[in-house]
Amino acid sequence: MARITVNEMLCKGCGMWVMACPVKIIELEKERINSKGYHPAASIDQSKCTGCRSCAMMCPDVAITVER
């Protein structure tokens, strides 16, 4: 089973990964802000992750890691 890990210290909430995710399971954490003042990315349903790594490839800050 694949899973997404987001390094919140690196994430600046750019949202470039939104269009890249084929199953649409990543969104911005609207309730939380990281230490740099951004809303970080978060997976809303890890069980649907296919492990395609599209989100990680689109992340300009290398904040998303996909584990298989």
Question: For residue range 12-62, what is the model confidence (pLDDT) as tens digits?
Answer: 999 998 889 999 999 999 999 999 999 999 999 999 999 999 999 999 999
Q: Which fold has domain 3-67?
A: Alpha-Beta Plaits (3.30.70)
3 state SS of 58: helix
CB 32 within 8 A of CB 39: yes
CA atoms within 13 A on the CB side of 8: 13
Q: Residue 21's beta-bridge partner residues? A: none
pLDDT value, residue 1: 84
Residue in the structure block whose two tokens are 């609207």? 30
Q: Cα–Cα distance between 66 and 68 in angstroms, integer?
A: 7
Q: How confident is the model at residue 5 (pLDDT cuts 50, 70, 90)?
A: very high
User: What's the rounded mean pLDDT across residues 1-7?
Assistant: 93
Q: Distance between alpha carbon 64 and the CA centroid of its chain, in Å?
A: 5
pLDDT value, residue 19: 87
Domain extents in the chain: 3-67
